[in-house]
Amino acid sequence: MAQLTKNQKALAGRYDFQKSYKLEDAVEMVKNITYTKFDASVDMAVHLGVDPKKADQMVRGTIVLPHGTGKVKRILVLCTPEKENEAKEAGADYVGLDDYLKKIEEGWTDIDVIITMPEVMVKVGKLGKVLGPRGLMPNPKTGTVTTQIAQAVQAIKSGKIEYKVDKYGVVHASIGRVSFSKEALRDNANELLSALAKAKPSSAKGSYFKSISVASTMSKGVDIDINTNFAS
């Protein structure tokens, strides 16, 4: 982090990072305490009361953030020739099949999302060792294995994100950029929290939302009061 000016230190000193805050106040704090020269990402971490080792407690899904993520995602569509024009017209950055499969096999992964078709997954699946660790493997559950290529591309371009609980029971997701208004960040955060609330496994016992925090790429984390945001 860059060295803080006297005024920036004074501003940060007004906040008590041992406290938890209402969602809108928390995102405003993050905006105020971020001093990077670039438009930093604002990320939310939600610790859920689930055991990801149990198949029936794996929390995963997709949502479209009302104000988008602020990041332009590079989309590769791996499809048959008759779907190529549809993918290009929808805004895909790269479209093709065998040539791109070969590039990926050789180590090319300069993309954010891969969308493909069910009949092509046999070929794509062979690249699991390359795509899996990078989170690029298409999955029907996230809408990236589909015959509706145009709709899938447009959804991602408009702010669709995937969320998935990690092995520690935490969901990490970007909810926008520091340049967003606090209202936009609040709306995006509420969309994520609402989706997580709806995705609560019936087998999960006890408190579901254990902790929620928000931070920018280079800021301190600010805790959010779970009693005012989807406490179970």
Q: DSSP labels for 54-92? A: SGGG--EEEEE-TT--S-PPPEEEE--GGGHHHHHHHT-
Please identify which residue in the block is written with the tokens 């970007």: 174
d(CA 36, CA 43): 15
Q: How is residue 150 written in tokens?
A: 């145009």
Q: What band does 34 get if pLDDT is binned at 50, 70 and 90?
A: confident
pLDDT of residue 232: 38
Residue 198 CA: distances (Å) to CA of 42, 193, 206, 218: 23, 9, 16, 31
d(CA 114, CA 153): 10
Question: pTM for the full model?
Answer: 0.77
Q: Exposed, middle or buried: residue 135 (CB in 10 Å: 0-12, 13-18, 19+)?
A: exposed
Residues 185 and 175 sit within 8 Å (Cβ to Cβ): yes
Q: How is residue 142 written in tokens?
A: 């996230």
Q: What is the mean pLDDT of residues 57-61?
A: 91
Q: What is the CATH number of domain 17-69+160-228?
A: 3.30.190.20
Cα–Cα–Cα angle for 83, 146, 91, rounded to 5 degrees: 50
E strands present in 8-155: 20-21, 41-48, 60-64, 75-78, 94-96, 113-116
Residues 123, 124, 125, 129, CA torsion sign: positive
Q: What is the mean pLDDT of residues 82-88?
A: 96
CATH 3.30.190.20 spans which residues of the chain? 17-69+160-228
How does pLDDT run across 95-142, given as a tens digit for each residue?
999 999 999 999 999 999 999 999 999 999 999 999 999 989 999 988
Q: What band does 3 get if pLDDT is binned at 50, 70 and 90?
A: low
d(CA 232, CA 222): 20
Pick the residue with more confidence: 11 or 110?
Answer: 110
Q: What is the mean pLDDT of residues 211-215?
A: 95
CATH 3.40.50.790 spans which residues of the chain? 75-157
d(CA 173, CA 192): 8
Non-local CB neighbours of 125 within 8 Å, separated by 6+ positions = none
Number of residues assigned to the chain: 232
Class of domain 75-157: alpha beta
